Chains A and B, each alone.
Chain A
Amino acid sequence: MAINRKTKSRVEVAFIYLFFIIMFILIGYPLIWTVMMSINPGTNMLVTQLIPESPTLEHYKWLFTSPNSDYLIWYRNSLGVAIANSLGSVVITSLIAYAFSRYKFIGRKYGLYMFLLLQMFPALMGMVALYILLTTIGLADSLIGLTIIYLGGQIPFNAWLVKGYFDTIPRELDEAAKIDGAGHLRIFTTIMLPLAKPILAVVALFNFMAPFMDFLLPRIVLTSPEKYTLALGLYNFINDQFSTNFTRFSAGAILIAVPIALVFLLLQRYLIGGLTAGATKG
């Protein structure tokens, strides 16, 4: 009986590992395939090999050195938008979250409802109006316009996330500071912000990465190629002549995906923590 149970357990564990191996293959295959494509010589997809006979880094070199390649310009554009978006979103959302977490004011409850509701409406629903608005104030086809839209669009989700985190910081701390004579802003900068560093780092980081990953908004806002962000540029890369440029696309995509994936893997714990705290607190 005891031996029976033991073997049964062993078989089970073996099956579990087998399942993991299948999952690993399913996850790994597309990723490895892309890496292999990027080191295939030439741009003809029909003659690519999964394991190329003569691997080459020519596509990576092309991206950075060819006069036809705008890759570095796109990288610079994305980086600029990303930095502005990351800093701006931290400032705006932390101010809002502080007010919502610590103060009682008219419209507070409806504001929270509004954040939750707006999270579910994708920006695309208002895209036409956004485009017309940007055109009227002369910010269409500009990176500044794009940044402003990102900044506004991230508020509902991130304000919610940060507010949830602020709620977990004991109120006794700021009350003690208040008794010691600290003003509203002082409490905010010397108590709340330092204690909320982890969540603010997450907000900064995710807003930094968003412009690298988003392609839809840039596609609607930006029209001239020298203003493209990476995602949009890469998309057009393969969309123009799909089968002929995929190897180059792979090289470009890997250069974005690898840093983003690494940072993401390091920080996803905090994101999950923030999400569940915001949603299930209590």
Chain B
Amino acid sequence: MASQKKFDLSQRRNRATLLSIIPGLGQLYNKRFLKGILLMVVTISFLITTWNYIDIGIWGLFTLGTIPREHHSIQLLIQGFISLIILAFGIAIYVYNLRDARKDAIAIEKGKPNPTLLQGVRDFYNNGFPYFMILPGLGMLLFIVVLPLLFMVALAFTNYNQYNAPPRKLLDWVGFDNFVNLINIDIWQDTFLNVFTWTIVWTVVATTLQIVLGLFLALLVNDKRIKFKRTIRTVLILPWAVPAFVSILIFSALFNPTFGAINRDILSQFNLIIPWLSDPFWAKIALIMIQTWLGFPFVFALFTGVLQSVPSDMYEAADVDGGTRAQKFRFITLPHILFATAPLLIMQYAQNFNNFNIIYLFNEGLPAVRGQNAGGTDILISWVYKLTFETNNYNMAAAITIIMGVIVMGFAFYQFRKTASFKEEGRY
């Protein structure tokens, strides 16, 4: 019964909606002539200018080209994605057109007079304002961030590598072959397992260390008996202030076994020479220490800010009840600061998971390891970098990127649930 009513053509709103299947017609029917003609012009020019491009793009997305040398699979792929984005905009305008015709028709049914031209323009400006504001940024975001990510996802399902590269050859969609190879071919399997486990160990150990050190120092500086707080804080934040690439390169030199100061000036006093760069184990230890050095100041600064907001009457109440220092920390301080900073701490884990800079700048992921095609300290992202830019194994790099993406989504999911900003979104 209800659905019948919905498509009742004797109602003006339904006739207007139906008519605007050809954009503009419904508006003309509503006697909104300027708007109708504008919409028609926009539609026609949209179709004329983009039809060819979109046609080839969508075709390319499915076939990746049919004639080698003439069709460039990669360019077709990108054109395909750009077409999808343009198409999405087109559909958005189209849907707007349908809804607009319906809305105006409803207004007429209710006996409201048609707005004057000026008023119509003003309404359009008022309703469209937020869209105008986000449009430039959204466009950039789509083309610079989203499009490349989509492209990367697509590559994982092709056979694009050094030996099978356009324009000489065409690419094909190969389904999940790359993922299967990652598990089934020995060298990939070994490398993937090694790199993956090290990535997890690296993320957990390095990030936890920097959080613990940051927290500990924040608690110490916050102690009432400590003087010169400002100076101490400034010095402790220094490692964050120095550009990371500079400090990593400095450490890389400090740890250098031949001229680095750590072996030459410090450890030689104890007759120790540690192969920091050539032994995977020691290189990993060095990396974790460096990351702790680089990362703790952020956590420290964060906690210092939050600690000052813990209400002091809670501690006073605890004092009255005879609470020990450990209890106060466990039941007042820790819950308070973790509640306030959990999303940012999760971000720290996500950042270290993808911390390309330190791995690459310290040692380029080296030393090399027999029987695998990644270095001993490579984490997933630096391995992807090497696969892409050094050995041109684009398909495998993309497949690994997708696996990384899934893991990052896990972080993101947790983030969404914890981020307090979203909890009050309902207000608007």
**Residues of A bordering B, CB below 8 Å:** 9, 12-13, 16-17, 19-20, 23-24, 26-28, 30-31, 33-34, 37, 45-46, 48, 50, 92-93, 95-96, 98-100, 102-105, 108-109, 111-113, 116-130, 132-133, 136, 148-149, 151-153, 155-156, 159, 164, 167, 184, 209, 212-216, 220, 231, 234-235, 238, 242-243, 246, 249-250, 253, 256-257, 260-262, 264-265, 268, 272-273, 275-276, 278-282
| B-side contacts of A260, CB under 8 Å | 241-243
Chain B nearest CB: distance from A86 CB in Å?
16
| B-side contacts of A273, CB under 8 Å | 305
| B-side contacts of A111, CB under 8 Å | 134, 138
Q: Which of A121, A275, A279 contacts B405 (CB 8 A)?
A: A121
Q: Is the CB of A124 within 8 A of B141?
A: no
Complex CA–CA separation, A113 to B261 (angstroms): 47
Q: Is the CB of A48 within 8 A of B152?
A: no
17 A-B residue pairs with Cβ-Cβ distance under 8 Å, sorted by A, are A13-B225, A19-B220, A28-B235, A30-B247, A33-B254, A92-B137, A99-B133, A116-B412, A126-B148, A128-B148, A128-B394, A128-B397, A132-B74, A155-B140, A235-B245, A235-B249, A264-B241
B244 within 8 A of A: yes
Q: Which of A93, A124, A129, A262 contacts B385 (CB 8 A)?
A: A124
Complex CA–CA separation, A16 to B238 (angstroms): 19
- B223 nearest CB neighbor, chain A only: A16
Given contacts A116-B412, A153-B144, A265-B237, contact A280 B341 (CB under 8 A): yes
Given contacts A33-B254, A128-B155, A129-B148, contact A279 B343 (CB under 8 A): yes
- A267 nearest CB neighbor, chain B only: B241
Chain A nearest CB: distance from B167 CB in Å?
13
Q: Is the CB of B425 within 8 A of A109?
A: yes
Complex CA–CA separation, A178 to B367 (angstroms): 64
B162 within 8 A of A: no
Which of B147, B148, B254, B422 counts the most A-chain CB atoms under 10 A from its CB? Answer: B148
B259 within 8 A of A: yes
Q: Is the CB of A136 within 8 A of B226?
A: no
Q: Is the CB of A99 within 8 A of B245?
A: no
Chain A nearest CB: distance from B101 CB in Å?
17
Complex CA–CA separation, A262 to B124 (angstroms): 48
| A-side contacts of B428, CB under 8 Å | 104, 108
Q: Is the CB of A276 within 8 A of B415?
A: no
Chain A nearest CB: distance from B142 CB in Å?
9
Complex CA–CA separation, A246 to B384 (angstroms): 29
Interface of B is mostly: helix
| A-side contacts of B107, CB under 8 Å | none
| A-side contacts of B397, CB under 8 Å | 128
Interface of A is mostly: helix
| A-side contacts of B134, CB under 8 Å | 95-96, 99-100, 111
Complex CA–CA separation, A276 to B73 (angstroms): 45
- A246 nearest CB neighbor, chain B only: B253
| A-side contacts of B78, CB under 8 Å | 129, 132-133, 136
- The stretch among B10-18, B61-69, B186-194, B350-358 that forms the contact with chain A is B350-358
Complex CA–CA separation, A72 to B360 (angstroms): 26
Complex CA–CA separation, A236 to B394 (angstroms): 25
Chain A nearest CB: distance from B334 CB in Å?
16
Q: Is the CB of A279 within 8 A of B344?
A: yes
Q: Is the CB of A125 within 8 A of B149?
A: yes
Q: Is the CB of A121 within 8 A of B408?
A: yes
Complex CA–CA separation, A273 to B388 (angstroms): 38
